[in-house]
Structure 1
Amino acid sequence: MEVLKYIFYPTVFIASLVYYMFRRRLSYWKDRGIPHDRPHFIYGNMIGIQKEKNFHELLRDYYMKYKHSKPFVGFFMMASPDAMILDLDLIKSILIKDFHNFNDRYHFFNERDDPISAHLFAVDGKRWKIMRHKLTPTYTSGKMKFMFPTIVEVGCRFNKTFMNIVENGGTIVEIKDLMARFTTDVIGTCAFGIECNSLENPDVEFRTYGRKIFTSRSPMKETFLRSFPRLARTLRMRKFPKDMAAFFTKIVRDTIDYREKNGIERNDFMNLLIELKNKDNSLTIDEIVAETFIFFVAGFDTSSAALGYCMYELAHHPEIQRNVRKEIESALEKYDGELNYEANIEMTFLDQVIKETIRKYTVFPFLTRVTEEDYKIPNSNLVIEKGVKVIIPIDALNNDPDLFPDPDKFDPSRFSADEIKKRHPMAWLPFGEGPRNCIGLRFAMMQIRIGLISILKDFEFSTCDRTETPIINNPRSFILAPFNGIFLKVERIVQ
């Protein structure tokens, strides 16, 4: 009994303290008179996540409920009191004008136990500024032109894959998987200098780890890591499995050793990083591993998702598909049938189609920032206190009928030059905005364009009995992903 006393009372004390701390955090917005839904003790305002709803649906419903409670509303990610920003002018201030007070994303990274998690997207403060400055020159339009032929080569193999399917009697394809294999091969060759050939063999190790990056993560774990990154580091939590880190680390080290020993240079991202490493030791090997890894993560599934959803919409809208194909044929004819960088950037209607796809199917549901100092909302008495995370619900904005009338309709004309001018610049933010926008946006758009051009010039796509309408998205996936794939009918165009 004496022993139990020494165990029982401290346990009760700790449990009571934790309960008090959680209750205090969960009353944060109530104490400040900010509108919000009453939070669940464990899930906060995330009840139903992974079951009935994915992140997109959850935040979209919350946004629509409170969209007129501007400039922001309270939201609890578990026990973390966050400010969901509803006012577009305030979003502009946070991302651009007052960026100095919101330059950190407050994402989880653990360099000690999980070094591949310490990449540009996650790191904060001075380290982010230094790394961004180092890496920015590798993502310029000039460097994209440098890598363009490498991606076109993969595009040619992509076209051949469809040709083989059709010639062997195939008519129904699962387009999402094929798009993921295309982006896997693009990122494999551009980021790691490896010919993955997942278009020929979908079970190659590189593709397997690409799938594992997302299937091994859960929305609830992601939420905990985002909400309590310091606690997660103290607990020595990892974002990615050890075998995954070992796999990508070995690939990068072996690639660098081989290239440097044999004096090999290629038109790819890895070559640019090696140049940085050898220039005044600007990058360490571990930093190169982390940056190539996030290059893979960001370019693999997000781009393949956009490609898959784009093909889904083009299959449902044959007239739009024909107009895209006419533009492709016209541009290629202008350059004697060659898909070069100039032809690629001249396809403005294709660009509108891609942007409308990204609006309707926003892969990442929100952006996050954290206040470094108390922030007084312009033209109000409201304050977002130091250390509070802000959520910018980009998917909800993209589907707000006040910003995009009839948001369920697929309408590329929304992104004509005239329509863009009419709209608030913060209404469409798939790549973020301001100094901490997505550094790889040029590469992402280039990869998506080449993927679409490579197949649309020779093949026509339409719906079939297996096409799911509307698409059911996976509630367990943090990024937008179709639960049952995207099946389409494919036919070769007879010239």
Structure 2
Amino acid sequence: MGTTPVLNVVDPELIKIMNIKDFNVFVNRNGFSFNDALQDRGLFNLMGDEWKTMRSIISPTFSSGKMRSMHPIIIDCVHRLDNYLETKAMSGEDVEMKKTMGSLTMDVIASCAFGTKIDTYNDHKTNEFIVNASKVLRGSRWRIFVFTILISISQNLQKWTGFQFLDPSVNRFFTSAITAILAKRKSEKVRQRDYLQLMIDAQNRMNTDNEIDMNDLNEDIFGKSESTEILNKSKNTLLTDIDILANSFIFLVAGYETTGALLSYLFYSLALNEKCQQKLYEEVNGLDGKYDYESVSKMPYLEACIAETLRLYNPIPAVSRLASEDYTIGDTGLTIPKGMMVNIDIHALHHSPEYYTNPEVWDPERFMPENRDQLTPYTYMPFGTGPRNCVGMRFALMEAKTAVAHLVHKYKFKTTPNTTIPLKLKKFEFFLNTGAVNIGLEMRI
């Protein structure tokens, strides 16, 4: 990165040691500042003890009990998507999945993280929320370029210039919007059942999760959602309004592109694999139209389809860690100097023939219960690994499973003359990205 060397790591044993045993050395993701509290105070960019404390506060908001309470909001969002897709199926039009699934995830984020409802399917050109969110997610290429150059030359230079990665007008919009929503919410007597309310409850030290936490996360596949023994559970630290602002905002940044991409490539893969789609339909059909939180969490083939899509098309190609001290790599005699970046190449691991037979083939059977013992630990990490893995993993899986179960039960997905086979990856993108994903669909009933 500029004049700073970066070490690429793809050895599973090293990944385990660095992210678990020696996690204290590799706590931080990076060492630069965005010069913007909206991003710098978010969980993704916090460092050291500040990160540990914030994680211990935020993690309980993603418990299974809390996810269950938000599940009805997800159902409402999926119903709005269903209404849109039904018009497409009736007209016989192709559906561009990236745009469509992006509309779903935007609807979910607006409803769950910001406590507001928007018409993502018809109002995407004029709605202020959607317009500003698009600026965040698509970014300005010149801003990305300048920011990258500055931190490559010197992180101190980037801080000194005060240059912001985010367009100041976007910053002002979300700061103002979330502040207004927070103020209104705090003055209301009726409590909502969304993430923003959970953050307010955490700020007020309210424990509203009275249900027993259910084992809804398959740790054999996705890893643990928490490593609480490593976290610093400081009881003297309170969430500030800025913290709520920042971590609601990161919900948008982290949850839009990733889950939308997962759903797009999953439906694309089902369209290309009719037998797999039929098998998934038969499993989903057993729910008899009941898509409650517990039901969608206990479907092995649906989970395998999601896991395999995240292997082949993982939205995050790599994750980085910053060495907080000089670190000797195993018995190699090599030393990572303090301040050096380590890059864990998830894409290379997920596509390695050493760990996955025919790695470019979409095959959900890899992740079925009877085959999981063949997986090499720490070669599959769609949500990262160790204590600094994705805190929203449970939410993302809930959203994806609910959408897939509902839609596969009602529609059959198929290829059309406009379907690109195979998809081609774009260069110079932060998230894994391809061209348009066009498929067709028809009503099953």
Q: TM-score normalized by structure 1?
A: 0.79
Counterpart code for 1:140: S
2:366 alignment partner, SS class: helix
Q: Greater relative contact order (Cα 8 A, min sep 6): structure 1 or 2? A: 2
User: Matches of residues 357-372 of structure 1 in structure 2 within 5 Å?
Assistant: 357-372=309-324
Tell me, in whole angstroms, the C-alpha distance in 2 between the residues paired with 1:471 and 1:462.
15
1:286 lines up with 2:234 in the alignment: no
User: Matches of residues 30-45 of structure 1 in structure 2 within 5 Å?
Assistant: none
Tell me, in whole angstroms, the C-alpha distance in 2 between the residues paired with 1:441 and 1:120.
14
Contact 1:158 1:455 in 2 (8 A): no
1:449 lines up with 2:372 in the alignment: no
Deviates more, 1:275-284 or 1:440-449: 275-284
Tell me, in whole angstroms, the C-alpha distance in 1 between the residues paired with 2:306 and 2:109.
19
List alignment gaps of at least 5 residues for structure 1: 1-76
The residue that corresponds to 2:270 in the other structure is 314
Match among 59, 84, 87 for residue 161 of structure 1: 84
Cα separation, partners in 2 of 1:258 and 1:247, compared to 1, 3 Å: same
1:488 alignment partner, SS class: strand
The residue that corresponds to 2:377 in the other structure is 425
The residue that corresponds to 1:254 in the other structure is 180
Corresponding pairs, count: 411
1:431 alignment partner, SS class: coil
Deviates more, 1:217-226 or 1:427-436: 217-226
Tell me, in whole angstroms, the C-alpha distance in 1 between the residues paired with 2:148 and 2:330.
30
Contact 1:173 1:488 in 2 (8 A): yes
The residue that corresponds to 1:376 in the other structure is 328
2:5 alignment partner, SS class: strand
The residue that corresponds to 2:16 in the other structure is 92
Cα separation, partners in 2 of 1:444 and 1:386, compared to 1, 3 Å: same
1:457 alignment partner, SS class: helix
CA displacement, residues 374-421 of structure 1 (integer Å, 9 cap, x when unaligned): 111223322212111111000111111111121110101111234332
The CA deviation at 1:325 is: 1.2
1:193 lines up with 2:115 in the alignment: yes
The CA deviation at 1:135 is: 0.7
Cα separation, partners in 2 of 1:386 and 1:475, compared to 1, 3 Å: same
1:78 lines up with 2:2 in the alignment: yes
The CA deviation at 1:320 is: 0.7
1:489 lines up with 2:440 in the alignment: yes
1:469 lines up with 2:421 in the alignment: yes
The residue that corresponds to 1:202 in the other structure is 124
1:327 lines up with 2:283 in the alignment: yes
Contact 2:88 2:94 in 1 (8 A): no
Tell me, in whole angstroms, the C-alpha distance in 1 between the residues paired with 2:150 and 2:353.
33
1:178 lines up with 2:134 in the alignment: no
The residue that corresponds to 2:26 in the other structure is 102
1:439 lines up with 2:391 in the alignment: yes
Tell me, in whole angstroms, the C-alpha distance in 1 between the residues paired with 2:262 and 2:151.
24
The residue that corresponds to 2:259 in the other structure is 303
Counterpart code for 2:174: F
Tell me, in whole angstroms, the C-alpha distance in 2 between the residues paired with 1:303 and 1:289.
21
The residue that corresponds to 1:14 in the other structure is none
The residue that corresponds to 1:244 in the other structure is 170
CA displacement, residues 53-92 of structure 1 (integer Å, 9 cap, x when unaligned): xxxxxxxxxxxxxxxxxxxxxxxx2322011113210110
Contact 1:103 1:370 in 2 (8 A): yes
Cα separation, partners in 2 of 1:263 and 1:310, compared to 1, 3 Å: same
Identity of aligned residues (%): 32
Tell me, in whole angstroms, the C-alpha distance in 2 between the residues paired with 1:175 and 1:377.
43
Tell me, in whole angstroms, the C-alpha distance in 1 between the residues paired with 2:147 and 2:98.
24
1:80 alignment partner, SS class: coil
Counterpart code for 1:315: A
Contact 2:41 2:242 in 1 (8 A): no
Cα separation, partners in 2 of 1:230 and 1:414, compared to 1, 3 Å: farther
Could you say what the CA RMSD is over the residues aligned between the two structures, in angstroms? 1.8
Contact 2:270 2:413 in 1 (8 A): yes
CA displacement, residues 416-460 of structure 1 (integer Å, 9 cap, x when unaligned): 234332222110111111111110100111111112122211111
Counterpart code for 1:429: M
Contact 1:114 1:239 in 2 (8 A): no
The residue that corresponds to 1:33 in the other structure is none
CA displacement, residues 266-307 of structure 1 (integer Å, 9 cap, x when unaligned): 111000111122338821111111100101111111110111
Cα separation, partners in 2 of 1:125 and 1:253, compared to 1, 3 Å: same
Tell me, in whole angstroms, the C-alpha distance in 1 between the residues paired with 2:156 and 2:47.
13
Counterpart code for 2:334: L
Tell me, in whole angstroms, the C-alpha distance in 2 between the residues paired with 1:224 and 1:394.
25
Counterpart code for 2:44: F
Counterpart code for 1:480: L
Tell me, in whole angstroms, the C-alpha distance in 1 between the residues paired with 2:374 and 2:407.
33
Cα separation, partners in 2 of 1:492 and 1:320, compared to 1, 3 Å: same
Tell me, in whole angstroms, the C-alpha distance in 2 between the residues paired with 1:474 and 1:490.
26
Tell me, in whole angstroms, the C-alpha distance in 2 between the residues paired with 1:405 and 1:217.
39
The CA deviation at 1:210 is: 2.7
2:197 alignment partner, SS class: helix
Match among 103, 123, 132 for residue 55 of structure 2: 132
Deviates more, 1:194-203 or 1:286-295: 194-203
Tell me, in whole angstroms, the C-alpha distance in 1 between the residues paired with 2:321 and 2:18.
8
Counterpart code for 1:236: G
Tell me, in whole angstroms, the C-alpha distance in 1 between the residues paired with 2:148 and 2:319.
13
Tell me, in whole angstroms, the C-alpha distance in 1 between the residues paired with 2:56 and 2:324.
21
The residue that corresponds to 2:226 in the other structure is none
Tell me, in whole angstroms, the C-alpha distance in 2 between the residues paired with 1:229 and 1:454.
47
Cα separation, partners in 2 of 1:226 and 1:119, compared to 1, 3 Å: farther
Tell me, in whole angstroms, the C-alpha distance in 2 between the residues paired with 1:201 and 1:244.
18
1:138 alignment partner, SS class: helix
Cα separation, partners in 2 of 1:179 and 1:146, compared to 1, 3 Å: same
Larger radius of gyration: 1
The CA deviation at 1:226 is: 6.1
Contact 2:37 2:246 in 1 (8 A): no
Tell me, in whole angstroms, the C-alpha distance in 1 between the residues paired with 2:361 and 2:192.
43
List alignment gaps of at least 5 residues for structure 2: 206-235
Tell me, in whole angstroms, the C-alpha distance in 1 between the residues paired with 2:267 and 2:425.
16
Tell me, in whole angstroms, the C-alpha distance in 2 between the residues paired with 1:317 and 1:162.
21
Q: TM-score normalized by structure 2?
A: 0.88
Cα separation, partners in 2 of 1:492 and 1:138, compared to 1, 3 Å: same
Match among 317, 336, 352 for residue 400 of structure 1: 352
1:465 alignment partner, SS class: coil
Tell me, in whole angstroms, the C-alpha distance in 1 between the residues paired with 2:274 and 2:28.
44
Tell me, in whole angstroms, the C-alpha distance in 2 between the residues paired with 1:342 and 1:430.
23
Tell me, in whole angstroms, the C-alpha distance in 1 between the residues paired with 2:393 and 2:140.
24
Q: Which runs of 4+ in 1 moved over 6 A?
A: none
